[in-house]
Amino acid sequence: MSNKPRKYSPELRAEVVAYVLDADHTPAQAARDFGLVAETVRNWVKAEKEQRLGNTEETREAGGRA
């Protein structure tokens, strides 16, 4: 049996991230409530935090080109 990564809709991802960041739930709680893997939720939250701070690979590269 293959363990291919599941694809999640952007809407679900946004809802879960908001549940953690805006409603003060833990990634583990969000994972339980949405039936997801906790590490997946933590990765989504980390990526969103970096996006909100402007600390993404794209912005770091853009800053180096100026």
pLDDT digits (tens, 9 = 90+) for 8-65: 999 999 999 999 999 999 999 999 999 999 999 999 999 999 998 887 677 667 665 5
Return the pLDDT at 4: 76
The domains of the chain are located at 10-65
**DSSP assignment of 2-61, as one string?**
--PPPP--HHHHHHHHHHHHTT---HHHHHHHHT--HHHHHHHHHHHHHHHHT-SHHHHH
* Structure tokens that stand for 31 in this block: 């994972």
pLDDT at 66 over 60: no
DSSP 66: -
* Structure tokens that stand for 14 in this block: 């946004």
pTM of the model: 0.75
User: What CATH code is assigned to 10-65?
Assistant: 1.10.10
